Structure 1
Amino acid sequence: MKSSRLVSILLLLQTRGRMTAAQLAEELEVSVRTVYRDVEALSAAGVPLYGDAGHAGGYRLLDGYRTRLTGLTADEAEALFLAGAPGPAAELGLGSVLAAAQLKVRAALPAELRAHADRVGGRFHLDAPGWYADAEETPHLTAVADAVWHSRVLHVRYRRWAEPTDVERRLEPYGLVLKAGRWYVVAGPGPRTFRVDQILRLADPGEEFTRPCDFDLAAYWAAYQRDFHDRLYRSEAVVRLAPGVRLPRAVDLRTDDDGWTVARVPIESAGHAHGEFLRLGARIEVLEPSDLRSSIARTVAELAGMYGNPASDGDD
């Protein structure tokens, strides 16, 4: 929509300063010709926007010009306040900062959008961790976040799964990621990923490092997750699923006459799949691999022996 694109141009120039038409076009994913037309429209509307020719040229706003946030739509205002998760911000020591920022943004919103934003806080609450996840202490989170922000080296004692479990590491922390209620720090060299709650001891020697200018935290994390799942699910099983049952990452092969679906499912291991599949009870039948099918059959037989035959209970 053109109106939202005009607001985006204003905000980009306001936050980044001088930008060329090509840079604006790339940012907004439009043609340079479209940027030219939008700039003309802004100028015609009285926005003090200037274009400088030459190699170091580009568009810029008159010094001191600031646009109010009247270009926000109702959905954008709601999303902005919904994205402000107070729990994680408080863990990082930024709870009061977030509250102050939201207060300032709220004051800049028109009355009708302010009502929309206020409604979000009263009707939606984000709680990322699962029900059965124990609250994990992360005593060094604030120190790690400070090192991330100021590009300072950390010397840590870290507990890992493999032997030796407790190791010394020198970290150059590039960024923090919150995943399913658990904090991870992505750090060089490498980079590599570390759980913040597994840092046993931390020292800040005051040494600074240079963060790679081309490092993209979101792109790294997406690739890390793909690699994690590729390494995690190295085996697969063939199962029959009762009507209505769905499994993550399952690939349907066919549907039987009785409505059951035969599917191929990636699994971490036969032992892990054993427990996961048993949770579905009689709504799943394992066809392959044979050792997994046999182990589940043995478990079911043991359970039947333990609980007896329900059909015979109460018989004389």
Structure 2
Amino acid sequence: MKSSRLVSILLLLQTRGRMTAAQLAEELEVSARTVYRDIEALSAAGVPLYGDAGHAGGYRLLDGYRTRLTGLTTGEAEALFLAGAPGPAAELGLGPVLAAAQLKVRAALPAELRAHADRISGRFHLDAPGWYADADEVPHLAAVADAVWRSRVLRVRYRRWREPTDVERRLEPYGLVLKAGRWYVVAAPGPRTYRVDQILRLTTCEEEFSRPDDFDLGAYWTAYQRDFHDRLYRGEAVVRLAPGAQPTGPAAAAVRARGRVQPDGWTLVTLPIESVEHAHGEFLRMGSDVEVLGPPELRERIARTAAELAERYGGSRAAPAGGRPWTRDGPRRTASCTGE
């Protein structure tokens, strides 16, 4: 473990230049004290490391020094080929480039690692989109990606959900995100998030913009998702869940965090909901596995729906396929020519 960490420190300093102990500790997920010990070990081994004090200080390698400890381990080779996503790469116009890069890496691997990489490619396939959604048409994706790479301003006609639906926007695209098979572009001013498939018209300008040095796409997306869920689930419902009931999404997290199992085995919990209308449909899908206690308007609405369903299905029943009349226990069996 320590030897692997020492190699990581060398590679980080080689690729990024000067880094502080705090930065190295955060990158390697260890304490700063551990980094200090590792730096001492590298220095004792003869690695030309220098430490600069002050505000702009940190550790760095002697100019021109490069480590040759860049060989891949078995796990790293497997992860590299598992991370290759041919679908998204093709959408960005990088399909042939990805294939060529993987071919070159595979050819450079030792025979044992090559076999591991081939096993990964043959046994794992990544397919991001969900089952019940058609793939989005994203005719402007390549142009958006090009603008991201070249830091070019975009002028777009964009369709949003609220009025006025079609609006003109000037965008400075910072980055692209693929979420559940759908592409999003994060762009200034703001920055804000836009669905690429909702761009109706696009013009790439020759005007160049400067991407903020401190902008972190991953950190932005994490914060955006958290804010999205906070804005989405603005209400609460108090419910009882039957033993074995398995809610999904934020409801599942709420059950794990706040659910209280009662003497009869049911779980009492307060769940986040988008609205009464949305929760009405979601809880009906759970059938008899859920009892809504509040808010009153949600409980009353579900009760009305249940009464309507009971009235609709509680009267005379239509004969099932095959023409046999219904009884309380199901279709009545009749004698046949075979003596049943």
TM more than 0.5: yes
Match runs of 1:175-254 below 5 Å: 175-247=175-247, 248=251, 249-251=253-255, 252-254=258-260
What is the letter of the counterpart of residue 291 of structure 1?
E
TM-score (norm 1): 0.88
1:291 is matched with which residue?
297
Offset, 1:110: 2.8
Offset, 1:7: 2.3
Question: Is the CA contact 1:13–1:60 (under 8 Å) kept in the aligned structure 2?
Answer: no
Question: Is the CA contact 1:158–1:166 (under 8 Å) kept in the aligned structure 2?
Answer: yes
1:257 is matched with which residue?
263
1:46 is matched with which residue?
none
Question: Is the CA contact 1:159–1:166 (under 8 Å) kept in the aligned structure 2?
Answer: yes
1:50 is matched with which residue?
48
1:314 is matched with which residue?
327
What is the letter of the counterpart of residue 294 of structure 1?
E
Deviations 1:151-180 (A, max 9, x none): 100000000011110000000000111111
1:269 is matched with which residue?
275
Taking a change above 3 Å as real, the CA distance of residues 106 and 201 of structure 1, as seen in their structure-2 partners, is same
What is the letter of the counterpart of residue 36 of structure 1?
I
CA distance in 2, matches of 1:50, 1:83: 34
* Aligned residue among 17, 34, 37 for 1:34: 37
Offset, 1:130: 1.1
CA distance in 1, matches of 2:130, 2:294: 31
The SS at the match of 1:153 is strand
CA distance in 1, matches of 2:88, 2:184: 12
Offset, 1:313: 4.4
1:102 is matched with which residue?
102
Question: Is the CA contact 1:21–1:35 (under 8 Å) kept in the aligned structure 2?
Answer: no
Deviations 1:78-105 (A, max 9, x none): 2222111111111111111112222222
**Percent of aligned pairs with the same amino acid:** 69
Offset, 1:123: 0.9
Match runs of 1:69-88 below 5 Å: 69-70=70-71, 72-88=72-88
What is the letter of the counterpart of residue 67 of structure 1?
R
The SS at the match of 1:265 is strand
What is the letter of the counterpart of residue 277 of structure 1?
F
Offset, 1:146: 0.7
After TM superposition, the structure 1 stretch with the greater mean CA deviation from structure 2, 189-198 or 295-304, is 295-304
CA distance in 2, matches of 1:68, 1:96: 29
Quick check: which has more Rg, 1 or 2? 2
After TM superposition, the structure 1 stretch with the greater mean CA deviation from structure 2, 266-275 or 125-134, is 125-134
Offset, 1:307: 2.4
What is the letter of the counterpart of residue 295 of structure 2?
P
Offset, 1:214: 0.5
Query: Structure 1 unaligned runs (5+)?
Result: 44-48
Taking a change above 3 Å as real, the CA distance of residues 176 and 21 of structure 1, as seen in their structure-2 partners, is closer
Offset, 1:73: 3.0
Question: Is the CA contact 2:13–2:19 (under 8 Å) kept in the aligned structure 1?
Answer: no
The answer on 1:136 being equivalent to 2:123 is: no
Taking a change above 3 Å as real, the CA distance of residues 74 and 61 of structure 1, as seen in their structure-2 partners, is farther
What is the letter of the counterpart of residue 240 of structure 1?
R
Offset, 1:183: 0.6
What is the letter of the counterpart of residue 300 of structure 1?
A
What is the letter of the counterpart of residue 233 of structure 1?
Y
The SS at the match of 1:187 is strand
Deviations 1:227-279 (A, max 9, x none): 11111101010111111113233244422222111111000001001111111
What is the letter of the counterpart of residue 59 of structure 1?
L
CA distance in 1, matches of 2:84, 2:316: 53
2:155 is matched with which residue?
155
Question: Is the CA contact 2:259–2:268 (under 8 Å) kept in the aligned structure 1?
Answer: yes
Offset, 1:5: 1.4
How many residues are paired up?
A: 308
CA distance in 2, matches of 1:186, 1:40: 43
